[in-house]
Amino acid sequence: MTELEFEYLRTFLKQRSGLALTAEKRYLVESRLTPVCRRFGIATLGELIGSLKLGQDGAIERAVVEAMTTNETFFFRDRIPFDLFRDTILPEALARNASKRRLRIWCAAASTGQEPYSLAMLLQEAGPRLAGWQVEIVATDLSTEVIEKAKLGLYSHFEVQRGLPVQWLIKYFTQVGEQWQIAQSLRSMVDYRQLNLLHSFASLGQFDVIYCRNVLIYFDAPTKSDVLARLAAQLAPGGALLLGAAETVIGLTDRLSPNPKQRGLYGHAEPVGRASEMAAPLRVAAGI
Amino acid sequence: MKAPHETTCLVVDDSAVIRKVARRIIEALGMNVSEAEDGSAALEACAANMPDAILLDWNMPNMDGYTFLQALRRSEGGAAPKVLFCTTENDVGAIARALRAGADEYIMKPFDRDILAAKLEQVGLVADAA
């Protein structure tokens, strides 16, 4: 691939998905796009870029965006965001919403479903505390391909062994040949939708909890600011936003602020003088 | 939690290749590793020096992993080690049976470094393995 072709690909990805493909990530191009070439019977990466330039094949364009933006994920990834959900975020949300008995959660970069299903398992474990509640998990991703996989809830034995305790594997999954399928009762808890975070998501409504992890890192600063400001607008008062360990709101928006006691957890920025009210004690949990 | 260099893992497998692969991964995570090639050799090793973790194959000559686990859990001090089955017995019935016999975790072969590290983290022997 020539420099010009790489530059074209960078611009294309930035416009289509917000992905900021840095020169250091150039090595990813070959490993991610060679399978796309094979799928469409295209001989070289140069030819693939050529077909993007022609702009006549939407299927190839979507496949390129999906291949370059699909990220690794696994159940209970990084563990702490899920310990926090179980021990702090969920109990606080249940107390806050006790009168309306409704809870809305959004996984904004749901990929192949491990994050929303991890939350669904924690909600099932919460059992009677949620009896009579209307709980909604909306899971979105840029890629229709990963959403289809997420809906099926079929995972390889490699995928179910990272992060998922074996006791939960046999409790919540059924063996289907060489694969494992997550229970229908959990699949039915998640409402999957295709969504590009660069476009408006106001129609999704407000959420008590938003997980938007490991996607902002691929955006440049102005795009991060724009997405964070719009995420703040969808976050209900008192709601919790969780970002990836390498992500922050600092210097990008004044509408959100980090929780001083827990890395990765954010809430609405409080007006001056009310800061003491947000310093609710946080318990950091042990393992799942 | 002990520091990894203070913890020991006994790898029990009749395949020298699997023992070598597992040893390499577990040592890289900072733990000390010893080996046994079947269940009866593993029982002797545990009687001499009880490890913190045991990575345990199921199908082995002399004494299989399941029989070893039952004997281990009945032995003095044998309740302490975290036992991780690591086997090609990958059906849900085998997993449930292993858990009832006292296994703490279960690794389905083939496995890789990430899976083994994640499972050792799961049982509290390695911190932040990812």
Asked if B10 contacts B35 with a C-beta cutoff of 8 angstroms, the reply is yes
What is the percentage of chain A residues whose pLDDT exceeds 70?
93
> What's the mean pLDDT when you consider all of chain B?
93
pLDDT at A190 over 90: yes
Select from B109, B90, B95, B92 the least CA-distant residue to B13. Answer: B109
Structure confidence at residue A19 (pLDDT): 82
> In the structure, what pLDDT confidence band is assigned to residue A277 with cuts at 50, 70 and 90?
very low
ipTM, 2 dp? 0.89
Identified catalytic residue from A16, A77, A104, A141: A141
Extract the runs of DSSP E, i.e. beta strands, from A89-143: 102-107, 134-141
CB B113 within 8 Å of CB B25: yes
Q: What would the DSSP string read from start to end of A8-66? A: HHHHHHHHHH-----GGGHHHHHHHHHHHHHHHT---HHHHHHHHHHT--HHHHHHHHH
Cis peptide before A116, with omega less than 30 degrees from 0?
no
Task: Please give the share of chain B, as a percent, with pLDDT higher than 70.
Answer: 96
pLDDT at A239 over 70: yes
- How close A287 comes to chain B (CA, Å)? 7
Q: B86 pLDDT exceeds 60?
A: yes
d(CA A225, CA A204): 20
Cβ contact, residue pair B112, A169, below 8 Å? no
The whole-number pLDDT of residue A287 equals 40
Q: Is B85 helix (H, G, I), strand (E, B) or coil?
A: strand
Average pLDDT rounded to a whole number, residues A69-90 = 88
Instruction: For chain A, say whether B118 makes contact (Cβ under 8 Å).
Output: yes
Q: What is the mean pLDDT of residues B85-106?
A: 95
Cβ pair B115:A158 closer than 8 A:
yes
Question: What does the pLDDT average to over A173-184?
Answer: 94
Nearest to B92 among A78, A163, A170 (CB): A170
Query: Residue A175: its chain B contacts at CB < 8 A?
Result: 91-92
User: Which of B105, B106, B114 has the CB atom closest to A162's CB atom?
Assistant: B114
Residue B22 has a pLDDT of 95
Residue B130, pLDDT above cutoff 70: no
**pTM of the predicted structure, to 2 decimals:** 0.83
- A39 catalytic? Reply is no
**Chain A: closest CA distance from residue B71 (Å):** 22
Q: Which residue has the tokens 């926090």?
A: A84
Residue B129: the pLDDT is 55
Across chain A, mean pLDDT equals 89
- Comparing CA positions, the residue from A77, A79, A65 lying closest to residue A18 is A65
Q: B31 and B8 in contact (C-beta within 8 Å)?
A: yes
CB contacts of B106 in chain A (<8 Å) are 166, 169
Tell me, yes or no, if A83 is annotated catalytic. Answer: no
Check B118 against A162: CB less than 8 A apart: yes
Chain A partners within 8 Å of B130 (Cβ): 77-78
| CA A60 from centre of chain | 24
- Is residue A255 over pLDDT 80? yes
